[in-house]
Chain A
Amino acid sequence: MSGYSAQAPYRTDEPFAVPLWEGQPRFYRADLHFDGVDHSGDSYEGRVFLDNPDASTSTPRELESGYAGSFNVFGHGPCFGDEGHCEVPKGPIHPFDYRRPHPLNRQLMVVTITDGLLHRIDAGAEAIDVTVVPTNDHDEDLGEILIFERLSLVTYD
């Protein structure tokens, strides 16, 4: 499965509309939900930028650069099991299978972006694009490591 890398970060195809009421924010907290995040490989940080499609690993983590927060993935690392060890079953193998979910089921990552989003609204934004740059502390090439299924903007008022 292909994913996103530091060289080719994830970018939203269409912007998220920002919940506004007469030009003012209609929320006290805003989160980005990354559903179905793969964590079977290396550990990494996903840096989230708003309205900065050119963001890269060298982009400052400042509001002015659109930086809104990060999520951190604790990767499973190499598989040392036997054949099939890291294959995730679709569900219980029968109605009497009470085992906990397979550890490599996909994860949810949540980034609270309230400050970053309010900063964009102050600059006049009515919609936002999201860019996610995967990286680590050594700025290494982690390949196409960022794999996930869905991104949601969730606000609370």
Chain B
Amino acid sequence: MRYRKSAEKLRPDQLKALRDGFTAIKGLRDRNGFWHWAAVHGAPRDGCEHSLNQFDSLFLPWHRAYLYRLEIALQTKVPQCTLPWWDWPTSRARAIESSTSALPPAFADPDANGEANPLAGSELPPLPNNPPGWPKATERRPGPAASLPVKEDIKKVLERPDFDDFSLHLEIDLHNLVHRWVGGSMKSQVLASYDPIFWAHHTMVDRLWSLWQVLHSNRGPRPSQWRTALRGLDMTVEDVLDTQPLGYQYAASTAHREVDGQ
């Protein structure tokens, strides 16, 4: 079992693994590469699921499968790499207190050990149809730190007992707000997944679904949705109802002791 950690609290070895993983898959041009997976959400494949109504949303299952597929690609290159979650309230509080960016430093710092930080942005691949206006690289334009969600905002969403209601408000009250807040590429559905912060943002969304599942003893999507295929991901809703069969859990911190002779 692997544990996904807060992007604000990564140990140096965990951050190095994350950066090594992104550097490695950014260098691939096949179906294990970063560009391949970024293109599944946005341009040119447009595979992502966002709520159109209150009763047929695959928003949470689709993005859980999507994170899983990218994390597998990362771990193929760097086995100890896991996706971190962007704890919006913690980043907000830290930024206000210290007058720093409300993006996690792991993703905001332009440099890492003397080289370009692979989590600070990404180049974009050329598209076959060469559309006008297609950018060469991601960009960000964050809003004021105070506009990010606070813990009370998250609590209000987690308290909603009905899954459809929870999912819709998680999406439009928190998820959409943070996409808009980061600005630049992140505020565009077709470009967002090319920015590495997208993956930490969605890992937080997935973590909140996981917390909701524990709080309400309910996995969420209704059985009639379980056999639905998740566009472009070779998985069904049923495959992603629980995180443990996918090999991960969420943890605020972990500590381990190796036992001799075991």
Contacts and interface: CB of A to CB of B under 8 A. Distances in A.
Partners in one complex: yes
Interface of A: 39, 42-45, 71-82, 100-101, 103, 105-110, 112, 136-138
Given A137-B147, A137-B180, A75 B131 contact: no
Given A82-B129, A110-B169, A105 B191 contact: no
A108 B168 contact: yes
Nearest to B176: A72
A43 B134 contact: no
B54 A80 contact: no
A103 B43 CA distance: 12
Interface residues of B, number: 37
Interface stretch (B29-37, B182-190, B233-241): B182-190
Give the interface SS of chain A, mostly helix, strand, loop or mixed. loop
B46 to A, nearest CB: 6
A80 B127 contact: yes
Contacts of B133: 78, 80
A72 B180 contact: yes
B190 A74 contact: no
Contacts of B188: 42-43, 75-78
A43 B179 contact: yes
A106 B50 CA distance: 11
A114 to B, nearest CB: 11
Which of A42, A80, A138 has the most chain B CB atoms closer than 10 A to its own CB? A80
Contact of B187 (A77, A82, A105): A77
Contacts of B187: 42-43, 74-75, 77
Contacts of A137: 143-144, 147, 180-181, 183
B48 interface: yes
Contacts of B2: none
Contacts of B54: 108, 110
B52 interface: yes
Interface in B187-212: 187-191
> Which 6 A-B residue pairings sit nearest by Cβ, starting from the closest?
A77-B188, A137-B143, A72-B176, A43-B187, A43-B180, A74-B176
A87 to B, nearest CB: 13
Given A45-B180, A80-B127, A137-B143, 18 more contacts: A43-B176, A43-B179, A44-B180, A73-B172, A75-B189, A77-B187, A77-B191, A81-B44, A81-B46, A81-B129, A100-B231, A101-B52, A103-B50, A106-B52, A108-B54, A110-B168, A137-B147, A138-B143
Contacts of A72: 172-173, 176-177, 179-180
A101 B231 CA distance: 11
B141 interface: yes
A103 B48 contact: yes
Contacts of A78: 133, 188, 190
A138 B181 CA distance: 9
Contacts of B99: none
Contacts of B131: 79-81
A107 B168 CA distance: 11
Given A72-B172, A101-B52, A80 B179 contact: no
19 contacts: A43-B180, A43-B187, A43-B188, A73-B172, A73-B176, A76-B188, A76-B190, A77-B190, A79-B131, A80-B44, A80-B129, A80-B190, A81-B44, A81-B46, A108-B51, A108-B52, A112-B169, A137-B147, A137-B183
Nearest to A99: B231
B189 A138 contact: no
Contacts of A77: 187-191
Contacts of B147: 137
B53 interface: yes
